[in-house]
Structure formats: structure tokens, C-alpha cells
Amino acid sequence: MAMMLRLDNDIIPEADEIRLFAKVRNEANRLPFWTSYYRKLGVDRFFMIDNDSTDHTVELLSRDKDVHIFSTSEKMSMARAGMDWIEPLLHQYGQNRWCLIVDADELLVYPDSESVPLREFCQMLGQINADAFGCLLIDMYPAGNIHDVTYVPGQSFVDVCPFFDSSGYKCLWADRKGPSIVGGPRLRVFFPEHQDGIHWRILRQIRAYSGLPISIPPLLNKVPLVRWNKQMSFGPAAHYLWYSHPAKGGGALLHFKFLGDFVHRVEEELIRKAYSREGVHYKRYFRRLRARRNRFRDIDFMCKMSVPFDSSRQLVDLELIASPTI
């Protein structure tokens, strides 16, 4: 908390609310649809941490009384990918409440989320004595070149990037922290060396011996929904959660990284160097995107596994999500 400044003066009630916690930077375009989506889902209050935005993010967030804004200039690489900012807020404002921890390009989907409000879903988790619900991060993408995408603030993310990989997800490794899942279009296009099924630790040894660069692909396992208590602690970027009783089964976080600003964000993050592991990802993205000076390669993620998103029932049928059990 010492590294953060609160920007609003609105009263935060002592109420049994579902609260959302997120770190943001230059998300003014995404926020109108994103906040609307989560309000309709059942979120009562937002706790937003702005990390040196240079657009209208803070101004936009300041308009709503159910949004509380905090600010920090600390680099993500010095804050466990932002968890050092979010956890103190969870301790202070999320204790013994159901909380969502998501990014501004992520939409939570769980079985029957179109008709079952989030509060009712959380009650179902409580009835089976679960205090956490994990999700598969599903990268969404457009039909055709990602450089041709135009997104208008307020527009549904799914309308712009409706496609996802219906299969091809796998556990790269598993340990006491839990499974580490990879797959999707970023693995196919930017990290193809991990598609051959070789265990990551073996691949690391092979590539180190050959002198080739060693890479860890983007992890797709996250724990975004928790009934927070003071014993809990997150791993980087909410990929893992310690001291919890997670439900079996899981939901999805539809991930909209390709809404037209992907190249700009890659170039910006290479200059800012605000990330540690994700900084390596951005370097990989840039090398794959770059064709020649001042030009970028076309990137088309479409393949035989590509299908348009329809509903939570579709994800259940594909066995990508499942109802919670204990």
C-alpha cells in the first residue's frame, strides 16, 4: 500500500459485495464495455490500480461512484506482475468476500454464466466449501490479419475478435503450485517449439546445450475468482493461488489481446521494460511481427481448430470448462 496513492474520496461501504480488483494502464478504449460486462455479470464494486496511464483511463474511471482508483508508478517487474499492489487491497477491502482478479482484456465465463448471476454462482461454490475457482485463459482473435482490426470503445469484444482455438491445450508441467497450461494461437505462432509435446524442462536442457534461446510460453491457467482470506497469496499474475480450497472443474477467461492495439503495446513495452517474464514474451512477439524496417508481418491466427465463440454451453461441450465440484 505504501507504493500506492488513492485518487478518489468516495465511501467504501462495509457490505457483502462482490468486488473486482484490477491493474490497468492505458485501457480507456476497453473500459466502457469491460465495466458494463462485469456490472451485468454481478460485480458490485471495482478497485482499480492505475499504472501511469497516459490516456483517459483515470478520467473515465473517475466518473463512476462504484469505482475506487489507486495509482502507482512502480514497475510490474518489481511488484510480482502487480500482485504486490492487488494483495494489500484484497486484504483491506476483500476480506471474507468473493473477489474477482482480472485484467481489462479478460471476460469471465462459467457454465451458464449467461443466465446464472455471479452471486448465485459464488453461493454454489460456497455450498461445496470451495473458496476459489480456476479458469483457462482463452486467447480470442479476429478472422484475418490482426493489423486490420478496428475497435470502437463500447463495442463488444467478441464482435471484433470472435474466434478461439477449440482444442490444443495441454499441461506443460505440474507441481505443488498446480498445473501450468499452454496452448492457443500465441503458442502456435510465437512459441512453436513447445507444440511438439516435449516437457519444458527437457526442452530447456536441449536448447541450452544447442545455444538456442530458452523460452517459457504464456501460461493460460489463472485463479480469478476467490473468497479472500488473509492466509491466501497469489503467484505472479494470478496464475497460482496458495492456501485455498479450489473447486474442481473450471471456467474461462476470454482474453482479448488483439483488439487493434497489439503492435503498439508490443513496441511500447519493449521501451518501458516494465515486465520481467512477460518482457521476454514481448521480445518474442516483436521478432515474429517484424518483417523489415518500418514494416510488420501479417499475422493470421486462423487454423483448423478455429471456431467462433457462441456461449458457455459451447465451452462445456468442448470440455474447456466444467461446473464446479469438490
Give the tens place of pLDDT for each residue, 201-237: 565 555 556 565 556 789 999 999 999 999 999 987 7
Where do we find the cell 490444443? 168
User: Which pLDDT score, from 0 to 100, does residue 175 have?
Assistant: 75
Q: What is the spatial distance between Cα 165 and Cα 307, in angstroms, rounded to a whole number? A: 7
Q: Taking the CA atoms of 284, 158, 309 and 300 in sequence, report the sign of the dihedral they define.
A: negative
Banded pLDDT at 1 (limits 50, 70, 90)? very low
Residue ranges with strand state E in the chain: 5-6, 19-24, 45-50, 67-71, 98-101, 106-109, 132-139, 163-165, 170-175, 178-182, 221-227, 233-234, 241-242, 248-255, 290-292, 295-296, 306-308, 322-325
Please check whether residue 86 is in contact with residue 49, taking contact to mean a CB–CB distance below 8 angstroms: yes
**Cα 74 to Cα 50, 82, 154, 273, 289, distances in angstroms:** 10, 9, 29, 12, 28
DSSP helix/strand/coil, 7: coil
Write the CB contacts of 17 (distance below 8 Å, at least 6 apart in sequence): 44, 45, 97
Q: What is the spatial distance between Cα 90 and Cα 71, in angstroms, rounded to a whole number? A: 16
User: Which pLDDT score, from 0 to 100, does residue 160 have?
Assistant: 97
Distance of alpha carbon 196 from the chain centroid: 25
What is the arithmetic mean of pLDDT over 175-197?
A: 83
The grid cell for 82 is 502487480
**Exposed / middle / buried, residue 222 (Cβ in 10 Å: 0-12, 13-18, 19+):** buried
What is the arithmetic mean of pLDDT over 42-59?
A: 97
**Position with higher pLDDT, 65 vs 212:** 65
Please check whether residue 37 is in contact with residue 155, taking contact to mean a CB–CB distance below 8 angstroms: no
**What amino acid is encoded at 3 in this protein?**
M
User: Which pLDDT score, from 0 to 100, does residue 297 have?
Assistant: 81
pTM: 0.92
Whether residue 154 is predicted with pLDDT greater than 70 in this model: the reply is yes
What is the arithmetic mean of pLDDT over 163-180?
A: 87
Whether residue 86 is predicted with pLDDT greater than 60 in this model: the reply is yes
User: For the chain, what percent of residues have pLDDT higher than 70?
Assistant: 89
Residue 87 gets which letter from DSSP? Answer: H
pLDDT digit string, tens, across residues 100-147:
999 999 999 999 999 999 999 999 999 999 999 999 999 999 999 999
User: Which pLDDT score, from 0 to 100, does residue 250 have?
Assistant: 95
Longest pairwise C-alpha distance within the chain: 59
Q: What is the spatial distance between Cα 18 and Cα 194, in angstroms, rounded to a whole number? A: 38
User: Which pLDDT score, from 0 to 100, does residue 204 have?
Assistant: 57
- In 3D, which of 219, 235, 258, 102 has the Cα closest to residue 110? 102
DSSP 31-62: HHHHHHHHHHHT--EEEEEE-S--SSHHHHHT
User: Which pLDDT score, from 0 to 100, does residue 276 have?
Assistant: 54
User: For the chain, what percent of residues have pLDDT higher than 90?
Assistant: 71
Banded pLDDT at 172 (limits 50, 70, 90)? confident
DSSP 218-256: PP-EEEEEEE--TT-EE-GGGS-EES--BPEEEEEEEE-
- In 3D, which of 187, 251, 238 has the Cα closest to residue 21? 238
DSSP helix/strand/coil, 139: strand
Average pLDDT, the chain: 90
pLDDT digit string, tens, across residues 257-304:
999 899 888 888 877 765 555 667 888 888 888 865 556 788 999 999
Q: What is the spatial distance between Cα 133 and Cα 250, in angstroms, rounded to a whole number? A: 6
User: Which pLDDT score, from 0 to 100, does residue 78 have?
Assistant: 84
Write the CB contacts of 226 (distance below 8 Å, at least 6 apart in sequence): 98, 99, 101, 131, 132, 133, 232, 241, 244
